[in-house]
Each structure stands twice: as structure tokens, then as C-alpha cells.
Amino acid sequence: MFGFGRLASYDYFAHLESALRRELRTRGQDAVMWVVDVSPTASVRRRAARLAELVASTSTGQEAIHLLGHSTGGVDVRLLASPGVSVPCDDAALTWLPRLASVTTMSTPHYGTPLAAFFATVSGQKMLYAMSALTFIALTLGSPPLAAASALVFAIGRLDRALGFQIRVLDRATDRLLRVLDEARSREVRAYLDAIGSDQGAMVQLMPEAMDLYQASVRDRPGVHYQCTVSMAKLPSPVKWLGQLTSPWGALSTAIFAALWGITSRTDERYPCAAPHAGEEAEAVLAKAFGRAPGVRANDGVVPLRSQLHGRVAWAGYADHLDVLGHFAGAKGSRNTSGPDGDAPHVDWLRSGAGFDEARFAEMTSAIAEGIARARS
């Protein structure tokens, strides 16, 4: 919901791409990888069509195809792979589907997320706009201006107050954030944010009520290996709050995560954002990862854990929504070698306290690669 492909020279998926390529090579798989830039919050059908066209334009017509989608990307991937589903693209862009070997979804809202229902509101649209700007700036600069981040926290804390007042606060916070960028990057980021403001079809479609219909109509493609990664982070405890007080930015980041976690934890018995029957194997994986199988309120700050379940559970563990992409606090001096300059650092701007680290990241990417390597080729 806050992500992108490549924006103003920053590769959002660089850490994950690098780790998966390395893991696949150890298994004798020399993968060619492509990151798909899609309209950030446009309808799932339009995003799926963009994915189909990119695969068609980059495929040689011989190799096996493996699709991986994080968050909303997982919904796009499943829709595109579903037999008989119509997407707005030429038939020629779908000729590669018989070679599809695996589908991997990460932190995907297969059954929707309450956060999407919030972002579909008038005030939520502005919040999504501001949060997306904050994500880019925090990842690229390490920490954004405290005044702007404070204004965002202030607005979150007044969600039930005067709507016009809150929107003005969010608008000012976004402007303050973008002022720290140079003119060239600011133009790119503003164009990205304008795309969010002009088309938020995906937010409506990711609401629990809409995803109930998605589940009724989307089917797995026969012969394709489906796997998922699922994660959760606990609501920050008072002890964790106190631990962040020495860092003003840490305290603000923790406050933002806590607000997102609270919205995402809301439940509705009619639309519980949960797989109705996860299966014994999945429940055993969850129990092993967390000590006991988590309930319906458990989430990663954006997507309920039980909404992330689809296919075989390749990996489960404590992590927030951005951790699993490599956006976590790396070891001191740790540098990732796949960034645009060869040294992109791990940056943990959303302080969830999940404790996700390099060891867990390696464990997760190894599990994903194992499933891909075992899929038919």
C-alpha cells in the first residue's frame, strides 16, 4: 500500500531481489528477474494487465515463469493466473501463461484488510497519500523531518475529529516532507503521489467485503505451485515505547505503527479477513512459528495474518509489512550489495519491534527459493 517499484533512483525491492537471486543460484537456478512498475493504487485488473504485458515483452517463449507478489501485488498475481478471468490486455500478452510454474504471495490480503476500508474514506485517502510520501523519504533519507512526521502522528490521533482540519494537517505534513527532496526527485515523487490521488480503485477492491467476492471467483491454475509467506508483529508494549523515547524519530515511527496495527486489528464476524479453513499443515506451521496459532486480530501493521494464507505456507514468523522486503534494521555497518550504487543500506523506518533481522530474512528468502526451485520447470 505504500510501496513502488523504482522511484527517483531508489529500488524498493532491491534487497529481496538480491537475496532471492543468490538463493536460487545455490539451487542451480539462474533466474532473470523483473520488477513491475504498476499504478500504485489502481484497480487490480489494470495492475494485472500491466504485469501480463511486461512478462510477455520480456519472455523468450521457452523458460518457466515464476511470479511473486508482495501485498497488493499478490492479489494481482493470483487474478492474472486464474483460469478464465478477463484482464484488459491483448490475448497476445497472455500466451506465456501455460509456462507459469509458481505463484508466491507475501503479506498479501487474500481476504482483505480493514486498513483498505479506512484508506477508501475521504480522510483515509489523504492519509495514504501522506504515508506513501513518508515511506519513500524515510527509506531514502533514513529519517524524515520530525515536524512533518509529528504532524502526521497528530492527524492519526485525531481521526474522529473535524475532517477539514485533519486534511489540512495532512496536506501540510506532505508538503513539508517533499521540501527535503531536491527538485528532480520531488517531481518524480509528486507524480507518483498524484497517481495515488487520481485512482484508488485497489483500496475499494481490497476491502474485506470486496475480497469476499474475489475469493468466490478467482481460482488456482492447475499444475502451478502456490506458496505464501505470513507474518505478524505485536502491538508495541509500554516497555517498547519507553525504549524508543531516547530517539524522537523512533518514538514517532512506533506511534505510526501502533495506529496502523490498531486499525488493521479490527474484526467483523461477517467478513473476518481470514481463511475459513487454513488446513492442518498451515496451522502446524503457525503454531511452530508463534508458539500457538494466532487469532484473527494478529497482523503485520497492514494485513491480518490469517488474510495472508493461501497455498502452502513457505515461511511464517515475526515481521512487519515492510520487514519482509528487507526494510529492517541491519547489523551495524551492514550494507546491501544490490542497490543502485551497490551499497543500499537496510532501513527500518516503521518501528514495529518485531525483531526481524538478517538471519530471519535469509531464512525466509531461502524458503521462498526452495519452493520456486521445486516447482515444475
Q: Is the pLDDT of residue 358 over 50?
A: yes
Same domain, 213 and 316: yes
Question: Does residue 59 register a pLDDT over 70?
Answer: yes
Instruction: Answer yes or no: do 76 and 26 share one domain.
Output: yes
| Same domain, residue pair 223 and 193 | no
Q: How many structural domains does the chain have?
A: 2
What pLDDT, on a 0 to 100 scale, did the predictor assign at position 342? 42
- Average of per-residue pLDDT across 182-186: 93
Asked if the structure places residue 27 within a domain, the reply is: yes
pLDDT level of residue 334 (50, 70, 90 thresholds): very low
Does residue 164 sit in the same domain as residue 217?
Answer: no
Does position 85 have pLDDT exceeding 80, yes or no? yes
pLDDT, average across residues 114-118: 93
**Angstrom distance (rounded) from CA 366 to CA 87:** 32
Residues 71 and 213 in one domain: yes
- pLDDT at 253 > cutoff 60: yes
* pLDDT number for residue 50: 96
The pLDDT tens digits for 201-236 are 999 999 999 999 999 999 999 999 999 999 999 987
Same domain, 275 and 143: no
Domain end, chosen from 198, 224, 258, is at 198
248 belongs to a structural domain: no
Domain boundary (198, 225, 256) is at: 198
Does residue 158 sit within a domain? Answer: yes
pLDDT band at 336 (very low <50, low <70, confident <90, very high): very low
User: Is residue 150 situated within a structural domain?
Assistant: yes
pLDDT tens string 122-142: 778 888 998 999 999 999 988
Q: Would you say residue 338 has pLDDT above 50? A: no
Does residue 100 share a domain with residue 221?
yes
Do 297 and 217 lie in one domain? The reply is yes
Report the chain's mean pLDDT, rounded to a whole number. Answer: 89
In a domain, 247, yes or no: no
Residue 233: the pLDDT is 97
Domain identity same for 184 and 289: no
pTM of this structure: 0.93
Phi, psi of 368 (to 5 degrees): -65, -45
Instruction: Report whether pLDDT(162) > 60.
Output: no
pLDDT at 340: 38
Q: Are residues 336 and 212 in the same domain?
A: yes
User: Is 41 inside any structural domain?
Assistant: yes
Give the pLDDT confidence of 310-325 residue by residue, as tens digits. 999 999 999 999 999 9
pLDDT at res. 373: 96
For the cut 90, the answer to whether the pLDDT of residue 331 exceeds it is no
Q: How many CB atoms lie within 10 A of CB 184?
A: 10
**Structure confidence at residue 159 (pLDDT):** 59
Same domain, 97 and 220: yes
Average pLDDT of span 240-266: 80
Taken in order 288, 361, 370, 222, the sign of the CA dihedral is: positive
Residues 78 and 136 in one domain: no
Assess whether pLDDT exceeds 90 at residue 376: no
Task: State residue 172's pLDDT score.
Answer: 85
Domain range for 352? 6-112+207-233+270-374
Burial class (CB in 10 A: 0-12, 13-18, 19+), 333: exposed
Confidence check: pLDDT of 87 > 70: yes
